[in-house]
Amino acid sequence: MALVFLFLYAPIFVLIVFSFNAGTSSSVWKGFSLEWYGKLLSNRLIIQSLSTTLLVSFLATVIATIAGTFAAIGFFAMRRRVREPLMTVNNIPMMNADIVTGVSMCLFFVAFFNGWGAFASWFNTLGLFQLPTRLTMGFGTLLIAHVTFNIPYVILSVGPKLRQMDKNLVDAAQDLGCTWMQAFWKVIIPEIKPGIVSGALTAFTMSIDDFIISYFTAGSSASTLAMTIYGMTKKRVSPQINAISTLLFVTVLTLLAIVNIREARQEKAALRRRT
Amino acid sequence: MKNKLSFFAFPYVVWMALFVVAPILMVVVYAFSSADGGFTFENFTRMGTYAVVFGRSFKLATIATVICVAIGYPVSYMMAKEGLRFQRVAMVLIMLPMWMNFLLRTYSWMTLLENNGLLNQLFQKIGIIALYNSIFGTNLQFFRMINTQGAVVLGMVYNYLPFMILPIYSVIVKLDHSLLEAARDLGANSFHVFQRVILPLSLPGVLSGITMVFVPSVSTFAISTMLGGGTELLLGDLIERQFLGGAYNPQLGAAISLVMMIIVVICMVVMNRFGEGEEQAVML
């Protein structure tokens, strides 16, 4: 058991220690320095890809959370015979190997752009207004891909909450004079809110963490942090990567600690309310 | 009310048709077409030349999966027997590395496994290399670890071990304790309890763990590029090269992707026969 934890953490520990190394080597200790952190912060490529990652993850999470919540409610209201096949399709991006999802979307985008080019040049001859004839993969396709693989996770965390909800609540609200719009906002949404929140969190982590699907759908104009890191490891070993790892690890650790402390507090508060 | 609400799903159904179903249809179409667009089976017959890659991918992924079961099962079993507090902490500790990007986790092994890396330095210090040399009569300065198949397997195990532990653990921890007591009351010793009760009941967890380790292992390209040094091509590398690398041939890449999809479908069918598979996957 302890060995497993050693196996899991020793490499990360070494990574962190050598991010403070003065030399370029990742195996010979040459003294303490913050050199690599400085280099990291002045590395425009990394800063740029970090902001791309954050932006795409944020936008994808917002879109996927809203779309996924509505979709989950819609699925919930459907008859079983309609819902089951749709849920199967919904599960495809989660179960499929990432590389297949990435490749299939890449093919689709390329084919669509070809078709679009033909359409746009035809349309431009009409002289109404000019459409761009050459579209390429970039931030837009990256965002579409992220939304697509995020929505299933939102649906999967909202769905169970809908099933747990007391169905009489909605009827009661309407009996008491709510329109169904009001019933939706004042009853359903608050009831499933925990599911929405956890779905959004899952979606965000999935987006931040994704490499493979981004790799195939971002084209050459947009690059996420993971893609930049992959490019760096291809060239040669660089302590800057150690520095990124350390910063990310500390960020994750802090976030997890905050979430856990909040949960513990909420549990305590819930206990107090009950007694 | 209910019928009105079902329209909420409409935009997403359109979205799925466009960005999930259509791309997969594209893969199927490409897999059966030649470069100039005609129908052909050539992409599949050409795959024969890559039989070595297929074989290597399956071999390495299988070895990694077996190792993950061998480590993951006892760990999950031991964890489930501990107190609640311990379980919680252990769970967080196992999940934590997964929050770091797998590229970084793989990179950490790149530096460790190098010829003059820390592991080789360690082996030298404690005399393992000298011992090896005296036993086998060789004259090694270091063990060649990076850019080998072993390194790739290690990378797979390191990255995907939590995917094995979590589903097995969640099944074992939910086992009905009265069943174990009943077995004991009926005269089974601990070994028999494990063999006849715990093992069969935890099989769904093992199966979903196997799928969750095997599928990403067999389709990986980053791990094999980083730890295998580009010499140990896997299926994922092959696909990647057909789309983004030098050997541009999306038709062949699509055909290999189609094979990969079939592998996933087979895994899913096996899992669904044992039920519960879906719930396990959702947990992650």
Q: What is the pLDDT of residues B150-159, one digit of tens each?
A: 999 999 999 9
Torsion of CA A173, A176, A179, A182, to 10 degrees: -50
Say if CB A175 and CB A107 are below 8 A apart.
Answer: no
Rounded-to-integer distance, Cα A76 and Cα A192, Å: 12
CB atoms within 10 A of CB A260: 12
Given this model, what pLDDT does residue B24 score?
94
Which positions in chain B touch A241 (Cβ < 8 Å)?
A: 104, 107
| pLDDT above 90 (res B228) | no
Smallest Cβ–Cβ distance between B24 and the set A75, A82, A104 belongs to A104
Q: What is the CATH number of the domain that holds B140?
A: 1.10.3720.10
CA atoms within 13 A on the CB side of A226: 24
CA atoms within 13 A on the CB side of B43: 27
Average pLDDT over residues B220-230: 87
Average pLDDT over residues B26-42: 87
Average pLDDT over residues B233-261: 88
Assess if residue B134 is contained within a domain: yes
Please report which confidence band the pLDDT of residue A52 belongs to, taking 50, 70 and 90 as the band edges. Answer: very high
Mean of pLDDT over chain B: 87
Say if CB B168 and CB B205 are below 8 A apart.
Answer: yes
Any B CB within 8 A of A33 CB: no
| pLDDT above 80 (res A123) | yes
Return the amino acid letter for A40. L
Q: Cα separations (Å) of A120 from A137, B137, B152?
A: 17, 72, 47
| pLDDT above 80 (res B180) | yes
Average pLDDT over residues B170-184: 87
Residue with tokens 């939102």: A154
Alpha-helix residue ranges (DSSP H) falling in B18-148: 22-31, 42-46, 51-81, 84-95, 102-113, 118-125, 128-136
A-B contacts at Cβ under 8 angstroms? 215
Rounded-to-integer distance, Cα A153 and Cα A156, Å: 5
Q: Coil, strand or helix: which one is A64?
A: helix
Domain locations in chain A as residue ranges: 43-236, 247-275
Given this model, what pLDDT does residue B17 score?
93
Rounded-to-integer distance, Cα A159 and Cα A73, Å: 7
Residue range A53-88, pLDDT digits in tens: 999 999 999 999 999 999 999 998 888 888 889 988
Average pLDDT over residues B174-181: 86
CB atoms within 10 A of CB A204: 20
Nearest CA in chain B to A248: B100
Residue range A177-188, pLDDT digits in tens: 888 888 888 888
Given this model, what pLDDT does residue B156 score?
95
- This model's pTM is above 0.90: no
In percent, the amount of chain A with pLDDT more than 70 equals: 99
- Per-residue tokens: A126: 């009409």
Average pLDDT over residues B184-191: 87
Range of the domain at B238: 50-283
The reply to whether residue A107 touches residue B8, judged by beta carbons under 8 angstroms, is no
Average pLDDT over residues A250-262: 85
The reply to whether residue A103 touches residue B93, judged by beta carbons under 8 angstroms, is no
| pLDDT above 60 (res B2) | no
Residue range A138-178, pLDDT digits in tens: 999 999 999 999 999 999 999 999 888 888 888 888 888 88
Any B CB within 8 A of A74 CB: yes
Residue range A257-271, pLDDT digits in tens: 888 888 888 888 888
- Per-residue tokens: B103: 């590229």
Rounded-to-integer distance, Cα B24 and Cα A105, Å: 8
Average pLDDT over residues A207-223: 90
Instruction: Rank A180-184, A220-224, B68-72 by mean pLDDT and report only the highest.
Output: B68-72
Question: What is the count of structural domains for chain B?
Answer: 1
Please report which confidence band the pLDDT of residue B277 belongs to, taking 50, 70 and 90 as the band edges. Answer: very low
Name B73's Cβ contacts closer than 8 Å, sequence gap at least 6: B164, B168, B202, B206
Q: Cα separations (Å) of B244 from A11, B236, B247, B248, B249?
A: 31, 12, 8, 7, 9
Rounded-to-integer distance, Cα A97 and Cα B236, Å: 10
Given this model, what pLDDT does residue A146 score?
96
- Per-residue tokens: A183: 């019933």
Smallest Cβ–Cβ distance between B20 and the set A4, A148, A252 belongs to A148
- B252-284 core/surface letters (b: 16 or more CB in 10 A; e: else): bbbbbbbbbbebbeebbeebeeeebbbebbbeb
Average pLDDT over residues B84-105: 88
Please report which confidence band the pLDDT of residue A22 belongs to, taking 50, 70 and 90 as the band edges. Answer: confident
Closest chain B C-alpha to A92 CA, distance in angstroms: 8
| pLDDT above 90 (res B181) | no
Nearest CA in chain B to A260: B92
User: What's the CATH fold of domain A43-236?
Assistant: MetI-like fold (1.10.3720)
Average pLDDT over residues A241-253: 89
**Rg of chain A, C-alpha, whole Å:** 24
Smallest Cβ–Cβ distance between B7 and the set A14, A74, A174 belongs to A74
The reply to whether residue B12 touches residue A151, judged by beta carbons under 8 angstroms, is yes
CB atoms within 10 A of CB A94: 17
Assess if residue B126 is contained within a domain: yes
The reply to whether residue A8 touches residue B94, judged by beta carbons under 8 angstroms, is yes
Residue range B115-126, pLDDT digits in tens: 888 888 888 888
Residue range A107-118, pLDDT digits in tens: 999 999 989 988
